[in-house]
Structure 1
């Protein structure tokens, strides 16, 4: 975890995929989990008005989802509350409701966005409790550990977070020591890879915290985090995030890089059984939309090593490559 430069966490799962294929075991088997299927919740990707939010939630309910997650992101607290109230009035007691405030990483690329403080987060927490909301996600900046801890102690609604915290296990251990969240949601493609996320998961279990990873990337990221969730105890009580906001964000779009998208059936997703991560890349799609930014063969690696590291280290590299 400690090095300068580009943090290539997203490439670490490829080595797990190789290991699984070499041993003939699925990733969840390597992690000591179990297969089958897991329950997922419909994670909406857009801020909506009360009526649209209620319609989306009801559609998800009819599809068999047991849970949904809304997104609030307005300067006006009443507008945020209106969206939650619309869904609560339509489906309170029928579906598990989560709300993402997106304050962990304040997105202001397109336009300005609200910045919550502890008092606003407390007010929203009180309101969500009245509305029957099960969890609130990222209600405060990702590095404001003290405020997160205060909110967690105050709130009657579970507080979740850690989506984009990229410091891996060391950072999450600090967060757990400070008691920042009820539910920890690292993403293996952002926070150090599968190895780091697995350690975070185990630390959660030892401390009595919940674990359900963030999955809002693409089909590859979803698959990686699906395997981690399959190895967690939290799969028995929590739902896994399923990015879903038709018609703009659907499995065929989200998982376009895969030969077979992850399609839920009555709010459940089957865990891959093939060795490794258990997915197949759609090479036609990758060729059409992807861009290669690095290429190295064994031959070019040897020449590079000779030029940059010398003969002694190149000989050692050769020994390693033959193992």
Structure 2
């Protein structure tokens, strides 16, 4: 059995309304997906997180070394990709290219072996997973606080047990928005805040202490991912758990993050940090340090399905009679790619997503949607 072909596609969806976070504004959603086909006719799909055209170029650079390989030998193929990029891309966008291919290979392997990927990863640890709604971005609404509170209430009415909101406009505005959102959803919904590294240490301490009374479940990326020691210091200055890691790559980056005692919760993005193969290694590393793990998920149904199978398999620490909640990120922002590209039997009921036993990563790709959103551009906008 051999890999016959590897094809990559850039997909783009223009948004009806732009939204922003502390760093950038989005006017479109753009993603690179990859299709790996075996000589048996089986197909696997993957996705890379980051600038789509650069990921596509990375996939095309790796393809000559992979065609002809046995697709079932995933770790062997992963090591070929890693060694081919080690000298000049130990971190960053080429790791996203590796990730996309790796996710596709797991999907392909599941289909070839007629098994769900979570089983190939080691087995099912839970039958359902609790999604938290990611939304509450900044818009040009004149009454932004009211709009955020209304959006949060809509998520809670849909049954979400946790919601993540953006902060990073200013400390004063953030405090007021957190107050309004907490007031809208009540005390029983877990509320996370995400600054996308908008603040320096002094500002992050000030904000964290100010919002502690609102029972914040975690404070995500309060600081630049470069400042491990500052993260470690922040953890000693607030009772709010600190989360981060979507900007880390490979187990080596997470080793630095964990050994520096920077975070309570790590958030690897499977489509950026090395794929499912490397995510499994990162999960083992997290267990050594006793850190919680909640993967960052942003993109299409391919990325979400990969995260679902990963979370289905991981151990939630600590072990105890009544297992703690294992969360998964569920992006709720406008995204036609997420809504139309894939079809899945995973069902959302009573605030949880039930895992099914469909082979591979559990989705089919809508070829009409692929054609609808596919573009061929050599330039790239960061999305």
With normalisation by structure 2, the TM-score equals 0.68
Q: 2:325 matched to which residue of 1?
A: 237
In structure 1, how many angstroms separate the alpha carbons of the residues matched to 2:373 and 2:156? 34
Equivalent residue, structure 2, for 1:25: 115
1:53 aligned partner: 148
CA distance in 1, matches of 2:305, 2:252: 24
Question: Which residue of the partner structure matches residue 287 of structure 2?
Answer: 205
Structure 2: distance between partners of 1:118 and 1:263: 41
What are structure 1's unaligned runs of at least 5 residues? 104-114, 294-323
Which protein is richer in strand relative to its size?
A: 2
Gaps of 5+ in 2: 1-81, 317-322, 378-383
The alpha carbon displacement at 1:236 in A equals 3.6
2:253 aligned with 1:171:
yes
Are the counterparts in 2 of residues 92 and 131 from structure 1 also a CA contact under 8 Å? no
Residue in 2 aligned with 1:39? 130
Residues 1:10 and 2:105 aligned together: no
Matched, 1:269 2:353: yes
* More helix as a share of residues: 1
Retained in 2: the 8 A contact 1:92–1:132? no
Separation in structure 1 between the aligned mates of residue 376 and residue 110 of structure 2, nearest angstrom: 25
Match of 1:278 in 2: 362
Q: Displaced runs of 4+ in structure 1, greater than 3 A?
A: 3-7, 260-263
Indicate the residue corresponding to 1:303 in structure 2: none
Deviation at 1:255, TM superposition (A): 3.1
Check conservation: 1:125, 1:157, Cα contact below 8 A: yes
Structure index of larger Rg: 1
3-state DSSP class of the match of 2:329? strand
User: Pick from 225, 229, 232: which aligns with 1:142?
Assistant: 225
Rounded Cα–Cα distance in structure 1 between residues aligned with 2:88 and 2:180 = 47
Instruction: Give the match's secondary structure for 2:342.
Output: coil
SS at match of 1:241: strand
Indicate yes or no: 2:170 matched with 1:88.
Answer: no
Structure-2 residue corresponding to 1:116: 199
Correspondence for 2:381: none
- Determine if contact 1:185/1:212 at 8 Å carries over to the other structure: yes
**In structure 2, do the counterparts of structure 1 residues 226 and 276 end up closer, same or farther at CA, with 3 Å as the change threshold?**
same
How many residue pairs end up in the alignment?
276
Q: Taking structure 1 as reference, are residues 192 and 3 closer, same or farther at Cα in structure 2, changes over 3 Å only?
A: farther
Once the two structures are overlaid, the 10-residue window that deviates more, 126-135 or 169-178, is: 126-135
